[in-house]
Amino acid sequence: MQADYVIVGAGSAGCAMAYRLAEAGKRVLVIEHGGTDAGPFIQMPGALSYPMNMKRYDWGYQTEPEPHLGGRRLVTPRGKVIGGSSSINGMIYVRGHARDFDTWRDMGAEGWGYADVLPYYKRLEHWHDGGHGGDPDWRGKSGPLHVTRGPRRNPLTRAFVEAGRQAGYPVTGDYNGQQQEGFGPFDMTVWKGRRWSAASAYLKPALKRANCDLIRALARRVVIENGRAVGVEIERGGKVEVIRAEVEVILAASSLNSPKLLMLSGIGPGAHLAEHGIEVVADRAGVGQNLQDHLELYIQAAASQPISLYSYWNLLGKAYVGARWLLTKTGPGASNQFESAGFIRSEAGVEYPDIQYHFLPIAIRYDGQATPEGHGFQAHTGPMRSPSRGSVTLRSADPKDDPVIRFNYMSHEKDWSDFRKCIRLTREIFAQEAFAPYYKHEIQPGADVQTDDELNGFIREHVESAYHPCGTARMGRRDDPLAVVDPEARVIGVDGLRLADSSVFPLIPNGNLNAPSIMVGEKAADHILGKTPLPADNAEPWINPTWRTAQR
């Protein structure tokens, strides 16, 4: 078994690269440990809480006990299925703020500023505004990834945006266009009522070509001979074999599994590899370091009217939603129900948004548990740029062992003050006139939780991952001792090996990570093919003119 390019991981970036390399006539083999994405649990947007809680589709990772969260272990879902995490995520589509990518460039990822990545966002998208306005000039019209908007029929969804406006924040018609800051409609990777994952957009069309194949197997390590990657050792059906790559091996196995594979292959912090008896091929201190994530809280309110999605939260309601979706691909099951968003700045002097809101017209947890209060609504909120950093390290030299994941969440005082601010700002939004017809009382944290200490206790107990791990093989200059890949996604210190997925993000972008992960795959494909990158697009993003002196 051999090909020009062997890609490990059929996730957001891996699928995009497979598509572009196959389109260019290269022979491509994709190695994926997970199986099919067929079936309603993945394909029905409204069923999003199911796949990420199913062993069949998820690697089942969790963190080590987190010292600043009272020793809690947090679940860390990653997709083990074609499409990777784009097949089990919440289908929310956020490019990130222009300034995020300018920061990447300034941190040494030359050629990855906003002007450089905007053309790739346009190339990957097929955007449909759904009659909700937006910035068509900033969006792509013919890419493989369909991006749509929910119908926004629930009055709570509209009340959230109006409450943001009443609280003094901007309203934006398209946070993925010129102006991220403000409140407005959410974009989602849903098309014709179905989840539109990277598998649907990229992998399945690529596999229709004679020069692209998929192998279902566990990747054990990269085979390196004389300093050059020549293949991937895999295990399938109890047998270990090597898949040869004639040109390059490309890792796209996630920010948790890509650094693990590098270390199993002898690329990583030398002392750590020696601890596990792994021969050091390239001593790269940054492998597995710089781990970042977004944490969030649900601020929940009970509703005074029976207008939330709780109406469907019973056997009969779920049967109706499921049957309608199966028959017509319409109804509540055809939306992820995240239909209104908010991006705000936490204080004066912050140049661009550092708090994100996901609004949901039901009070419910990610594991599908509805609040005993019945009808309600919630805003998921959290800071976007935590200073905390963690690591992914090896548990052993056995490829079947889970990596050791330590996020080191909430390790800075700024994390705590930022979260307290998030709670207080959310309470203020819920107190606006727009919610007056619907707001009954606060469920969580609860009206009696007010002081800094009380809020800290609530945060410690209830904060959850937004499932945005990244940064563990960061991109930078070749002379940067902590960089793992260069700006063309080449692993520093080994020939014939690239890495392109959310591991390479130097800094976590504003918002959800699916869109930037696909963008990284798209842009890396051009570097792999030796193409001149798309011409820079110097469109100027909107920055609040009063940011130096005002919070809103």
Active site residues: 468
Number of helices (H), then strands (E), in the chain: 13, 25
**407: which 2 tokens?**
């996020």
Rounded CA-CA distance 337/309 in Å is 9
**Cα dihedral sign, 330-356-96-252:** negative
Alpha-carbon distances, residue 408 vs 147, 294, 378, 458, 467 (angstroms): 34, 12, 27, 18, 15
What is the C-alpha separation between 298 and 282, in angstroms, rounded?
A: 43
CA neighbor of 221 nearest in space, from 233, 231, 230:
233
**Helical (H) or strand (E) element with 17:** helix 12-23
Residue 370 burial (10 A CB sphere; 0-12, 13-18, 19+): middle
d(CA 193, CA 36): 19
Token pair for 150: 């929910």
Local structure of residue 484 (DSSP, 8 states): -
In a 13 Å sphere around the CA of 506, the CA atoms on its Cβ side amount to 24
State which H helix or E strand residue 258 sits in.
helix 257-264
